Amino acid sequence: MPLSVKSPLLKYALPCLALFAVAGASAEPPRLILQITVDALRGDLPQRHLHNMGKGGFRYLFDEGVHYSNAHYQHGNTETIVGHSSLATGTTPALHGMVGNVWFDKDAGRLIYNVEDDRYHLLSSNADVDRSTEIDPTQRVALADGRSPRALLTSTFSDELAYAYNGQSKIFAVSVKDRGAIPLAGQTGKAFWFSKPAGRFISSNYYYERYPQWVLDWHDANPLDAYSDNSWQLLRPAQDYLFGTNDDQPWETDFPGFGRTFPHPWGSIGDKYFTTLLTLSPAGDQLTLDFAKTLVENEQLGQDAIPDFLSVSFSSNDYVLHLFGPSSLEAEDVLLQLDRTLADLFSYIDETVGLKHTLIVLSADHGAPEAPPYLNTRGDQDAHYYDMEACMQQVEAGLAQGPFAKVEGLIGQFSHPYIYLDQKVMEQAKLDGAKVAETVAALAEQCNSVNAAITTADTRYSPARNRTVETRVWNNYNARRSGDVYVVLDSQVYVNDFDGLVVAATHGSPWNYDTFVPIFFAGRGIAQAQVDRPVTPYDIAPTLSALLGIKPPSGSIGNPLSELLQR
Ligand SMILES: [Zn+2]
């Protein structure tokens, strides 16, 4: 009988191999921990497109790594900063404090952006968010140009590594998005992200007094030139794709100059939206890869016995999802191209550090919803977009007729997913906040497509009840930052108007399509396995800690994944 992977002989042999590998690892830790995040990579997407992928990328993770196929976040607001912070800290927003990309800061009396910090400044001039061209409305909330991890309330795995090795571990995080890099670097590492106005990777003086020379050299080599007067083209012939005949779908965003069909032109360097369009395509991931490789080389990561940490978060998949939806030719191609980017990264790490010395983990910050019109093409469903402003007007109108009719301005803010009551107005009118919140929640629940409006005082929804959606809302509650009422829209209903930019799909719900992410571990001491039991991404940080034999992050609620720790 030929010896196959499924042979019982090998089944028994594998734990022995794992025993030696892990025993070796405890004597000598990995030289590099490489934590990869793919923004908005829903748990099923790598498998869905694997047949069109090449060698060395996702296929390496499937063939040689441990794949967790049933991983879900257990918090409600599945946004980018929330997920990245959970990956970094091993806990929910209730504890790490990053409850949303934007929240109402009670001291400042205004909405704030998650990583803004007015004590610091960017190291590059003309790199601050340009409000006239920035398409991400959450970025436009920030008043300060400075960025830092100040708002993160618990320690990260990277922090724990820094403490354990007395600051000798080199710790870096890179992403196109500031909020994709900063949480993973923690309080102790260095973060770099891409400035669209400056067309370069930047940092703030929280991290550095001045840039290392290699950062300046990377920019001076004009890496963006190759994209000028060029366009995003399909990697493979159109007929190879699941969505090969669906390039032009009417719900896709027709971004000026970029269009809804291939090829998508980037325009010329210096054009108003040139750098933005790079980030909305595989080019954003390719630039991130190039910068990360330059970092590994110049900072000499993984070259000695002290373990170093590199986080790379690839953002393009998320932007493409928003514009076109995950079931689109663009989304399919961006993943196939990311697969090549990952293969390049793994091969580079193998040459410079050695995969046998590297512990790799890959996951996502949240899943991905479908564009409602796509769902409706598969049957007469009621998936639809939703205007939350209309609901808030309905709530205001309801308040004007109820027991609080004489008090004006009770609602301070709606900032997804929270309604914040105006505390000053309530104090002046001597109102009981819990009662007002209850009334507002009851009114919001009367809005069409609102599934539930849950008040912070609502003890009906205790975690002990283990009701999936309500538990996720509860896990998102942080007393300093969360609002008074959490609004949950129905499954398959999305707000898609971001201050004028109408997009195809929006994540951020507590439903399973937004909480579902893949988790892969590969590299040093890892034997191939597929694990179907339920796990959470909060398990990743404590698993890394356990594999390194260091203490878990301060607020970690996850469990070390037993499949990786078998001895
Ligand atoms: Zn994201």
DSSP output for 396-435? HHHHTTSTTTT----EEEEETTEEEE-HHHHHHTT--HHH
Categorise residue 51: left if φ over 0, alpha if ψ from -120 to 50, beta otherwise: alpha
Please report, rounded to a whole number, the percentage of residues in the chain having pLDDT higher than 90: 83
pLDDT digits (tens, 9 = 90+) for 150-166: 999 999 999 999 999 99
Q: Burial, 250: exposed, middle or buried (Cβ in 10 Å; 0-12, 13-18, 19+)?
A: exposed
- CA 291 to ligand 1 centroid distance, Å: 20
Residue 123: both structure tokens together: 């190291």
Q: What is the pTM of this model?
A: 0.93
Centre of ligand 1 from the C-alpha of residue 49, in Å: 20
408 CA → ligand 1 middle, Å: 37
In this prediction, residue 133 carries a pLDDT of: 87
Q: How much of the chain is helix, strand and coil, in % rounded to 5?
A: 35, 20, 45
Q: For residue 464, what is the DSSP state?
A: G
Please tell me the distance between residue 324's alpha carbon and the centre of ligand 1 in angstroms.
Answer: 15
* 364 CA to centre of ligand 1 in angstroms: 8
How distant, in Å, are the alpha carbons of 216, 291, 305 from that of 296?
A: 15, 9, 16
pLDDT for residue 393: 95
Residue 19 pLDDT grade (very low, low, confident, very high; cuts 50, 70, 90): very low
Parallel, antiparallel or unpaired: strands 110-113 and 264-267:
unpaired
Band (pLDDT 50/70/90 cuts) for residue 54 is very high
pLDDT at residue 467, as a whole number: 77
| Stretch 311-336: mean pLDDT | 97
Distance 137 CA to ligand 1 centre (A): 14
CA 168 to ligand 1 center in whole angstroms:
31
Residue 2 banded pLDDT, cuts 50, 70, 90: very low
Between 402 and 31, whose confidence is greater? 31
- The residue with greater pLDDT, 6 or 147, is 147
Instruction: Indicate which residues carry an active-site annotation.
Output: 80
The one-letter amino acid code at 311 reads S
* Alpha carbon of 366 to ligand 1 centroid (Å): 6
For residue 460, what are the CA distances in angstroms to 454, 465, 476? Answer: 9, 9, 16
CA of 141 to the centre of ligand 1 (A): 17
Instruction: Pull the structure tokens for residue 166.
Output: 């007395």
Q: pLDDT per residue over 169-199, tens digit each? A: 999 999 999 999 999 999 999 999 999 999 9
Ligand 1 (ion): residues with CB under 5 Å are 39, 80, 318, 365
> Do residues 320 and 232 make contact, with C-beta atoms less than 8 angstroms apart?
no
Q: Report CA(165)–ligand 1 centroid distance (Å).
A: 31
- Report the separation in Å between the CA atom of 139 and the middle of ligand 1, taken as the mean of its atom positions: 13
Higher pLDDT, 4 or 123: 123
Query: 531 CA to middle of ligand 1, Å?
Result: 25
Amino acid at 316: S
Q: Which residues contact 363 (CB under 8 A, 6 or more apart)?
A: 36, 37, 38, 41, 71, 87, 517, 518, 519, 520, 537, 540
Q: How far is the CA of 343 from the centre of ligand 1 (A)?
A: 22
Kindly give the pairing relationship between strand 411-415 and strand 418-421. antiparallel
